[in-house]
Chains A and B, each alone.
Chain A
C-alpha cells in the first residue's frame, strides 16, 4: 500500500522550562512542552479542538527576554527559549486572573481542575467584597459601549443575571460566563460555521450575544449544542440537565459514561452516553475523536429520546 503524506518531517526543538531541558516537535506550543513535562498549567479558554484565542491569560508563562508574560497555549516553542512557569510574576498574574473571574462569575460548576487551580493559587474572590445584586433580565444585554460608569466600590461587580430559557434544547446561564470565547469559536469558524453568537459590548459589559440579542429561536442557531460541549463553567447546558439540577436529581457520582456510535447518518460520530438510573441524561463526544473532534449535530447530541420513551412506557 502506497501512502503519500504531504507534511514535511518535523524537526525537534530544545527549550528549557524551569531549569529542565525539554525537547518538543517543531510547531508545538509552550503549553504542549509544559504538559509533556507534567507541569500543571491552568487553562480556561484553551481546548484541544479549538484554535487558541488568547483571551483568558491564565496559562501565561515568563519567557526570558520577553517584556510581557506570554500565553503558553498559543506561543510556539522556539529553540533556546528559557521559560519559567512558577515565578512570582507568573503566580501573581494567574492568581489575579482566576480571582477576578471567580469574583465576577459563578464558577461553582467549573471542572475539578479549575477548582484545584483556584485553591493552589490562593485565590480569594471574597476580598473584593460581597457580590453586587444580580442585574435584571436583559439589563446587561442593553448596556451600550462607552456608557460605563465606575462602580461605587462597596460591592464586587458581577455578571449575575437571570438564566435565559427560551427554547427546548438548552439554557444560557450567563451568570456563569467567563467570556472564554469557546462557544463563539465552536459555533463559528472552529467547527460549526453557523455564527449564531459573538461577543457584544466592551469592557465589563462585554457578553455573549445573538445578533441584536434576539432569542435563540429567532437567531441563526441550529441547536447542535457544540457551544455546550466546549463551555468550561456550565453556563451552557441542555435544558434536560438544567431541569434535573433544579430538581436536585442530577448526580454525577451515580452516572456512567459509555462510548458508542451515533445511530443516525453514516458519518459514525463517536458519542459518550452519560447515563444515570438507566436513563441517558447527556451526550458528549470525545475531543480526540478523529471523526468528530468533539463536535456533534443536533441529532447526535439531542436525538436519543426514542430509546428512552420505550422504557418509560413499561
Chain B
C-alpha cells in the first residue's frame, strides 16, 4: 500500500486486504503518516512527502544487486532495462535513506520481500498521484512490477485505487482530453476517429483537448471564456482557491449542472438541477477494478430536477440538433457499438453477472479478471509490444521547505467524509469531527499550541485559521488537513496549483506552511464564523 490510506478512503476494498493479511499475506505501508492503514502493516515506511521515486529506485537497485530480478520476463516482455539499471544504480540504499527518512534496512527488507513473493501487488492512491511529478511516481512503481514480473498474473499486479465511484467510468467514456470512449486515441487512431465520425455524421478532429489544469490556464490567458461544469465543485476542490474562484468568476458564461448548490454553482450564470446518478436515474458506473456496474433509479428526483441525459439532449435541441429521447440503455448500446472493449456488455448481461470487468469484446466473453496477461505469452506475436522501463528521477516537491515555511502540509480523507463534503457533510454521524490542523505532538508543543487553540496557517498562496489537534500519527515537521469542510476551513487556499505536465494533477500533497498562534481577534473571528455555520 503506497500513498494510500485505504482503511479510511476505500474501507470495503480494505476488508479484502485484511482477509489477505489474516491468510498470511505480508503488507507494507509507504506513507508519510502512520495512518490507520499503516497500523495493519507488517512494516510502515514513513517517508518524507515527495520522496517516492528515490525510494522506488532504491528498491529496484537493491533487487537488481541481490540478483532477485525476473530475468526471463525482462528479456521477453520489456525493453529499456539497461538504461533503467544504470539510472537506479545512482540510488543506493544510503541515498534513499537520506531522501526519504526510511531506515535502509527497512527498504532492503521491502525490496527482498516484494521480489521474492510468489504474488505481489502494489496498490496506490493520491499519495502517489497528487504531486507535480505524478506520472513519474506511477512509472517508478510500474518499473518495480516489470523488474520482478509481478504483473499480468493472477494475484499479482498494479492497483491504482480510484477515488470516486465513476472516475474510471468517466475515463472509459472518453472524458479524457486525448481519448474517445474505450480509450481509443483521438490523435493516433484514425480508424476509431472515422468510426465515430461515420456514426455521428461529422468528422472528428484529430486534436486532443485540454485537461482540467490546462483549462484553467486557458482561462487565465483569456482563451477559454465559457465553461459547462457537470457534477464537479472546482471552487472547493481545486488547489489555490482564490485563484480558481477568480478565474471562474471572470468567465463570460459559467453553466453548472449539479444536484446541490455547491460553491461553484453559487458563482454560475446558469444552474441546471440534475439528478443523483446513483439513485434517481438509470445507467452504469465503472469501479476501480474496471467493473462496469448498473446504477438504477430508486427514488423520483425533486420537482424541477431533470435527468442528465434529458438536459444534454435538450441543450442539443436548442442548438438545433434533435437527438430524440434516448434511454440509458440506448446510449449504452451506442457505447458498445463504438468501443470494442465494451462490445460484449449488454444491459442483460450486466444484470445477469452483476457487473463485468472490461475488456469484454464479444457475446462469449465474461470480462477480464486482470490485465497484461499477454506479456507472459510464449508466442511473440501474441505477446505484442514489450512494456518499457521508464527512467525516472527523484524530483522534490515544488513548494520547498524553508525557514519561513518549515512545515510540510499534506492532505487526505477521513473515514466518514468525502472530498469537499457536498454530499457527505449532510448526514449525521458520531464520527464527524470539525476540521483541524493536525500537527505532530512535537510541533504542537514547540509552538505552544494546545488542542482546539486557533492557529494561523500560512503558505506562499494565502493564510487561513484552524483549530489545532496534536496527532500522534504525524512525525515532526509534518501536518495534515482534509478538504472536507471548505465552509469551516478553506484548506485549498494554501495548496499550490502547479500541476504535473503529464497527468494534469495539482500537488495537493506537498504544501510548505508556517504555523503560528492566531491573534485573539483572529481566533474570535474563527469561532464566530463556525458557530454561525452550525445555526
Check if A and B associate: yes
Give A contacts to B, CB under 8 Å.
1-6, 167-169, 189, 191-193, 216-217, 221-224, 256, 258-270, 273, 275, 278-280, 289-293, 295-300, 302-307, 309-311, 313-314
Minimum distance in angstroms from A10 CB to a CB of chain B: 18
Expressed in whole angstroms, the Cα–Cα distance for A300 and B296 within the complex equals 16
Question: Are B164 and A266 neighbours in the complex by a CB distance under 8 Å?
Answer: yes
Contact with A along B1-32 (1 / 0, CB 8 A): 00000000111110100100010000000000
Expressed in whole angstroms, the Cα–Cα distance for A110 and B250 within the complex equals 60
Q: A261: which of B289, B293, B305, B376 is its contact (CB, 8 Å)?
A: B293
Q: Which residues of A contact B168 (CB under 8 A)?
A: 266
Residue B369 is within 8 A (CB to CB) of chain A in the complex = yes
Question: Are B302 and A267 neighbours in the complex by a CB distance under 8 Å?
Answer: no
Expressed in whole angstroms, the Cα–Cα distance for A275 and B300 within the complex equals 11
Q: A314: which of B15, B296, B303 is its contact (CB, 8 Å)?
A: B303
Minimum distance in angstroms from A183 CB to a CB of chain B: 16
Given the known interface contacts A291-B12, A307-B276, the answer about A268 and B288 at a Cβ–Cβ threshold of 8 Å is yes
Minimum distance in angstroms from B334 CB to a CB of chain A: 21
Q: Which 4 A-B pairs have the closest CB atoms?
A: A268-B287, A266-B162, A258-B298, A297-B11
Q: B299: which of A5, A216, A280, A313 is its contact (CB, 8 Å)?
A: A280
Q: A260: which of B287, B295, B301, B376 is its contact (CB, 8 Å)?
A: B295
23 A-B pairs with C-beta separation under 8 A: A1-B373, A168-B429, A168-B430, A258-B296, A260-B294, A261-B295, A264-B423, A265-B9, A266-B288, A267-B161, A268-B285, A268-B286, A268-B291, A273-B299, A289-B354, A290-B354, A297-B11, A298-B415, A298-B429, A299-B424, A302-B427, A302-B429, A306-B426
Question: Are B167 and A303 neighbours in the complex by a CB distance under 8 Å?
Answer: no
Question: Are B260 and A306 neighbours in the complex by a CB distance under 8 Å?
Answer: yes
Q: Which residues of A contact B278 (CB under 8 A)?
A: 260-263
Expressed in whole angstroms, the Cα–Cα distance for A193 and B22 within the complex equals 10
Expressed in whole angstroms, the Cα–Cα distance for A228 and B289 within the complex equals 28
Which residue of chain A has its CB nearest to the CB of B370? A3
Residue B180 is within 8 A (CB to CB) of chain A in the complex = no
Given the known interface contacts A6-B154, A256-B298, the answer about A216 and B430 at a Cβ–Cβ threshold of 8 Å is yes
Minimum distance in angstroms from A292 CB to a CB of chain B: 5
Question: Are A3 and B154 neighbours in the complex by a CB distance under 8 Å?
Answer: yes
Which residue of chain A has its CB nearest to the CB of B154? A4
Q: A273: which of B161, B279, B288 is its contact (CB, 8 Å)?
A: B279
Q: Which residues of A contact B271 (CB under 8 A)?
A: none
Q: B429: which of A1, A169, A262 is its contact (CB, 8 Å)?
A: A169
Minimum distance in angstroms from A57 CB to a CB of chain B: 26
Question: Are A264 and B428 neighbours in the complex by a CB distance under 8 Å?
Answer: no
Which residue of chain A has its CB nearest to the CB of B417? A299
